[in-house]
Every structure is written in C-alpha cells, then in structure tokens.
Structure 1
Amino acid sequence: MALFRKYLLAGLLVWLPLAITVWVLLWVLGLMDGIFGGVVGAAASVLPQAMGDALRELKNVRGLGVLTLVLLLLGTGVFAANIVGQWWLKQWDRVLHQVPIVKSIYSSVKQVSDTLFSSKGNAFREAVLVEYPRAGSWTIAFVTGTPAPEVAPLLGDGREHVSIYVPTTPNPTSGFFLMVPKHQLRPLAMSVDAALKHIISMGVVAPSTPAAAAAPSDPNPIG
C-alpha cells in the first residue's frame, strides 16, 4: 500500500498542474467566446438578414473571441501610442471623470492599473523581508512607493518610511498595505516573480537564487 500511495501521488503531481492549466485556459476561452457571441448576436440582430446570418456563423468558430480580443488590444495599443490617440484618450478620460459614480470607480481603477503596469511605475519592483505580524515573525513583502506627503510627517521619529504590500497565501491578490520605516526592511536577492511563486506555493517552491544575504539574521538591513 505504501508503494501504491507513492506512485499514485507521483502521478498526481505530474498531471494535476497540467489539468488545472488546461481547465483555466478552457474557462478563459469559453468566457471570451461567450462575450464575443453576445456581441455578434447583438450586431446580427440589427443587420439585414443575409448579413446577420453570415455573421452568426462566426459564433461557431472556437477561439475566435480570444483572437478578436488580442487584435483589439493590439489595435488599441497602436492607437494609444501616437499623438492623435493620446489626444482622444485624454478627452475620453475627461468625459468619464465628469460622470457621477463612474468617475470614482474609473479613476481608482486607472490609478492602480497605471501604477502596476506602467513601465515608469515603481510598484512591485523589489521584494523585501519585513517583521509581520509580530516581532520575530518574518514575511515577504513588495515595495510599492513612499507614503503620501500628507501622511509622511505624521509617522513619527523622522526616519524615512516606505509603503509596502504584504500579500496573503495562496492568493496574493489580497493582502495588507503598510507604511514602515525603511531601516526595518531587508532586501532580497530574488526577483519579484520568484518571490510571488514562493508566496503562492506557501514556501514549497524555493527560489533558485541563493538568499543567504537576506536572511533575518542579516546584521546589515537597508536604511
């Protein structure tokens, strides 16, 4: 029975990641095809019957929704990269910032997305160690910037503070936002991607880069 269990677990470890990956991809594919099918159905309903019937046939093409989305994103990127596109996007932003309720949601999401995905941003550019949630207990966090000018003077002791994000495990999209003294952080040699893998796996997947210099016993923390 021990040998049977060993081989069964070994086979499970081989097939489980592949099965989950395929399941996620099929789910995304189905979602995109569903959205594409809805748009095609709405468009076909207002077109002449012959054109509408031809358009409805596109709903049966598997994967066309994902392809359409990719082409749409590429086209939008090309449009936004030139002067004319930037001018139109500014007008679009101006309109959305004037609509009640919509402006609150849109501006918040836009600020977060610009911070996370912009090449000029500093979010999630560095992984560090921080004592959390209590002294002697360490966790991996990501430096996201510096405290707001209104907040920084109220943090006490006059030392430089930084803003960090402490993700939860195994879902790193939820976590805690903290402002801590910079000297309390200890830099890690691992990349942000390696740190995320380490967190998501609950420490099972160790980064390949030696991190001896960043151990909690390091006598030379940054700051």
Structure 2
Amino acid sequence: MMKLRNYFLTGIIISAPLAITAYLSWSIVHWVDSWVKPYIPYRYNPDHYLPFAVPGFGLIVALVVITAIGFLTANFIGRTVVGAGEKLLNRMPLVRNVYSGLKQIFETVLAHRTELFNRVGLFEYPRKGAWSIVFIASQEDNEISDALEPHEGKTIAVFRPITPNVTTGYLLYVKESDVIPLEMTVEEAAKLLISAGLVGPEYRNKTKELAKQARANVEHEKPALEPARPVAEKAQPARRRRTASSRPKR
C-alpha cells in the first residue's frame, strides 16, 4: 500500500502541472477565438467549410492583425491617424482618464520590460520581526520619492506580492536601507511564493557547486613544483670552485 501511495503521488506530480498548463492554454485559445472569429468574413472562416471547428485560428488572425496595426502605425500616416484619434479621446471626460492610464501602463511595461522587477529583496512587513519577499521595481524620480526624501532619505518602490497569487499585492515606498537584497532571481522568488514556501531556490547547492568549481580551477592553474635536488648536488659546484681557487699558481 505504501508503494501504491508513492506511485499515486508521483503520478500527480507529473500529470497535474501538464494538465493545468494544457487547460489554461486551451482556455486562452478558445477565449480569443470567441472574440475574433465572429468578425472574420464568412469566406475566410474555415469553420464554415470544414465539419469541425479549427482551434487557434482566431488567435492567429489576432496576432497578424495586431502586428499589421503596429507596422502601419510606425510610419508617418499611421502616427497622424493615431494622434488624431488620441486628440478625440482626450476630449471625452471619462474615457480620457481610462485611456491615458492604460496607455501609460502598457508603455511602461513594454518599453522597460527588462528593467521591471529585476531584483528581489526582504522587507520587514507587516510587523517587526516578520519578513516578506518583495520585488524591487525600476527606480525613477517622481513626486512621491521627492516628497519623502527630506523626511525619510532615499526611498525605493517595492512590490509585495500575495501568496499564492503573485499578480496582486501592495506597492510600498520604503527606505532603501530597510530592504535586504537577495541573490535569487525573480522567477525563483515567484516559485517560492506560489508554492507557499515549498519550492525554494537551490541556494546551497549552487553555492557548493561554485565553490567546487573554483577549487578545481585553482588546482588546475597551480604551477607544478620542480623536484628538489639533493643537497650534495647543490654543494658540489661550490666545492669544485673552492678547490680550483685554492690551487697554487705556477
């Protein structure tokens, strides 16, 4: 029974991530298809010619259309059309606030995607003695940091995610000296948070492996020592020199 239990748990560990990943991917594909396929002309929709629905066709059409919009917007005519549309949206009282906020978020995320949350740290929260994992965001001077600098000194923006949903959390402005930086990557910290502390980074194993490699490199680069010569061989030339110098001159 113990072996059967272990086999069952092993099967769950192998099949559950695959099943959840396939389910989420399939759900996203169907969600995009349900939005895009109704707008595809009848003659170009393969669902009307085939006896079965083609999954993912709407997703492919959406990717092509978004890429084409980006290509057309990159030239002068496209920028002019987009500028005219933004001027029209800016005249609408409620729509302009929503549009400007969403546009700024997408521009920040896509333009600086390699700099967002590139470090992980520890911050003492929500009480003294309790530490939370935070993602350190890319720092830019703004009104909040300028207002806090005379009172708190240099502050940084950190994002404290909530376990197990790391996409939600709190944005905090804290002293830079109160944050302890860590060597783990953002992906490793996300795994640790999603698993509620069960899947941690292999910090000790990596450290041991690096130390082992360093010792191996030192041993490999160390020059070989020359074999020591006997004392008699070293003293023989000196004795010969003394004998030659002590001979009487003719």
Q: Give TM-score scaled by structure 2 length.
A: 0.70
Aligned twin of 1:47: none
Q: Which range is displaced more, 31-40 or 10-19?
A: 31-40
Aligned twin of 2:67: 74
Q: Which range is displaced more, 182-191 or 89-98?
A: 89-98
Segments of 5+ residues of structure 2 without an aligned counterpart are 208-250
> Which protein, 1 or 2, shows the higher relative CO under an 8 Å CA cutoff with sep ≥ 6?
1
Query: Which of residues 111, 128, 132 in structure 2 aligns to 1:139?
Result: 132
CA contact under 8 A between 2:145 and 2:154: conserved in structure 1? no
Aligned twin of 1:202: 196
> What is the CA-CA distance between 1:57 and the residue it aligns to?
4.2
The answer to whether the aligner puts 1:106 opposite 2:99 as a matched pair is yes
Spell out, residue by residue over 1:101-148, the C-alpha distance to the aligned partner (whole angstroms, 9 max, x if none). Answer: 111211222222222221378432322211111122112112233573
Percent identity reads 28
Segments of 5+ residues of structure 1 without an aligned counterpart are 45-51, 213-223
CA contact under 8 A between 1:147 and 1:163: conserved in structure 2? no
> What is the CA-CA distance between 1:38 and the residue it aligns to?
2.0
State the secondary structure of the residue aligned to 1:139. Answer: strand
Hey, what's the Cα distance between the residues in 1 that align with 2:181 and 2:168?
22
> What is the CA-CA distance between 1:4 and the residue it aligns to?
2.0
The answer to whether the aligner puts 1:127 opposite 2:120 as a matched pair is yes
Hey, what's the Cα distance between the residues in 1 that align with 2:54 and 2:37?
10
Matches within 5 A, 1:16-31: 16-31=16-31
CA contact under 8 A between 1:162 and 1:180: conserved in structure 2? yes
Matched letter for residue 13 of structure 1:
I
Aligned twin of 2:169: 175
CA contact under 8 A between 1:160 and 1:181: conserved in structure 2? yes
List, as ranges, runs of 4+ consecutive aligned residues in structure 1 with deviation greater than 6 Å.
none
Matched letter for residue 197 of structure 1:
K
The answer to whether the aligner puts 1:39 opposite 2:39 as a matched pair is yes
CA contact under 8 A between 2:148 and 2:155: conserved in structure 1? no
State the secondary structure of the residue aligned to 2:188. Answer: helix
CA gap 1:91/1:195 in 2 versus in 1, 3 angstroms:
farther
State the secondary structure of the residue aligned to 2:197. Answer: coil
Hey, what's the Cα distance between the residues in 2 that align with 1:207 and 1:81?
42
CA contact under 8 A between 1:127 and 1:187: conserved in structure 2? yes
Matched letter for residue 157 of structure 2:
S
State the secondary structure of the residue aligned to 1:157. Answer: helix
Q: Would you say how many aligned residue pairs link Structure 1 and Structure 2?
A: 201
Q: Give TM-score scaled by structure 1 length.
A: 0.77
CA contact under 8 A between 1:194 and 1:207: conserved in structure 2? yes
Aligned residues: CA RMSD: 2.7
> What is the CA-CA distance between 1:100 and the residue it aligns to?
2.1
More helix by share: 2
CA gap 1:166/1:31 in 2 versus in 1, 3 angstroms:
same
CA contact under 8 A between 1:130 and 1:139: conserved in structure 2? yes
- Look at both structures and tell me which one has the larger radius of gyration over its CA atoms: 2
Spell out, residue by residue over 1:147-202, the C-alpha distance to the aligned partner (whole angstroms, 9 max, x if none). Answer: 73256334663410111110111111110111100101111222222222222222
CA contact under 8 A between 1:147 and 1:162: conserved in structure 2? no
Q: Which range is displaced more, 144-153 or 178-187?
A: 144-153
CA gap 1:120/1:175 in 2 versus in 1, 3 angstroms:
closer
The answer to whether the aligner puts 1:118 opposite 2:102 as a matched pair is no
Aligned twin of 1:11: 11
Hey, what's the Cα distance between the residues in 1 that align with 2:113 and 2:6?
49
CA gap 1:181/1:187 in 2 versus in 1, 3 angstroms:
same
